[in-house]
Amino acid sequence: MQHDIWFNGTLVPYEDAKIHVLSHVVHYGSSVFEGIRCYRTERGSAVFRLREHLQRLIDSARIYRMEIPYTLDELERATLETIAHSGLTSCYIRPVVFRGMGSMGVNPLKNTVETVIAVWEWGAYLGAEALEQGVDVQVASWNRMAPNTFPALAKAGGNYLNASLVKMDAVLNGFTEGIMLNVDGYVAEGSGENLFLVRNGTLYTAPTSLSILPGITRDAVITLARERGFTVEETRLPREALYLADELFFTGTAAEITPIRSVDHHRIGQGTRGPITAELQEAFFDVIRRGNDPHGWLTPVPAPAATEG
């Protein structure tokens, strides 16, 4: 089903949420965006870490000198209104801010800044069985961008040209996803997910200085793991550490916590979801399915979304 889209302050029918082909974003990739999930918990519909995602959107826009004409509070209200209006009890939320009409040419400073919030139903990102069985991945031949090329802290549309090269290669080679190394050859992240490695009971993940996206799910998993007594180290890992891992998993809004069962045809652990991955998935599901929220990560969606469905 197609749901109304919030476009510069008003909800418009899906078919009417259009832009001109000469919009700056079409030619130069000048957009910043977010991916957020709303869950139907046992205590009603709620959005996972909404304000953190919207703050990252505002930060991404700031890096690219785009002035969003809405405050964080206004974007939060708009998001909740869009969900409630859709009648969906669970959904994926895609806010996007982009450069519109003005002038052609690389200089975007005279172009409009447009703000959109769309919602749709989106199931398991890496396949229906992935959350239990794990996925097969390869190390990508394309690197993550160098820190002085594109700002990695910005979740910008243009960054995903690199991500889609990684993803296409992986899929055409028969894998589900690709893992990027940074320019120095250290493990960075997937095309649309952060990555964790488990070895001898300790968790490892790349530091944000390796040009990864500072994932909000990554942050949640670090918190949940430390609460359960695990050590989590943000450190540089060489490629071959992937092959020696006891467990590997991706984190992301779309991917949630997805186990990896092989890398470059090296079997990881027993070739299925590992016990620490399962424990952290369980802790995550306790929040998003049961609605247990000791960290204040859930924002309830007002009726009618919470009651319909």
By the rule CB under 6 A, 253 interacts with ligand PPE: yes
What single string gives the DSSP state of each residue in 159-204?
HHHHHHHHHHHHHHTT-SEEEEE-TTSBEEEESSSEEEEEETTEEE
Candidates 83-91, 238-246, 250-258, 299-307; binding stretch for ligand PPE (CB under 6 A): 250-258
By the rule CB under 6 A, 189 interacts with ligand PPE: yes
> Phi, psi (5° rounding) for residue 244?
-100, 0
Task: Specify the residue, 194 or 281, whose C-beta has the smaller distance to ligand PPE.
Answer: 194
CB of 182 to ligand PPE, least distance (A): 13
C-alpha angle 61-66-68 in degrees, rounded to nearest 5? 80
By the rule CB under 6 A, 193 interacts with ligand PPE: yes
Collect all residues with Cβ–Cβ distance below 8 Å to 123 and sequence separation of at least 6: none
Residues 81-140 that bind ligand PPE (CB under 6 A): none
Candidates 59-67, 134-142, 189-197, 278-286; binding stretch for ligand PPE (CB under 6 A): 189-197
Q: Candidates 95, 108, 157, 215: give the one binding ligand PPE (CB under 6 A).
A: 215
Site of tokens 């961008």: 145
By the rule CB under 6 A, 248 interacts with ligand PPE: no
The answer to whether the CB of 196 falls within 8 A of the CB of 223 is no
Annotated catalytic residue 18 = no
**Alpha carbons 204 and 197: distance in angstroms, whole number:** 5
Task: Specify the residue, 66 or 257, whose C-beta has the smaller distance to ligand PPE.
Answer: 257
* Closest residue to ligand PPE, based on beta-carbon distance: 35
CB of 57 to ligand PPE, least distance (A): 11
Paired strand residues for 117: 6, 95
Candidates 6-14, 97-105, 191-199, 222-230; binding stretch for ligand PPE (CB under 6 A): 191-199
Site of tokens 């990684």: 166
By the rule CB under 6 A, 194 interacts with ligand PPE: yes
Would strands 91-99 and 36-41 be described as parallel, antiparallel, or unpaired?
A: antiparallel
CA proximity to 21, closest of 113, 105, 100 = 100
Task: Specify the residue, 86 or 194, whose C-beta has the smaller distance to ligand PPE.
Answer: 194
Contacts to ligand PPE by CB under 6 A = 35, 163, 189, 192-194, 213, 215-218, 251-255
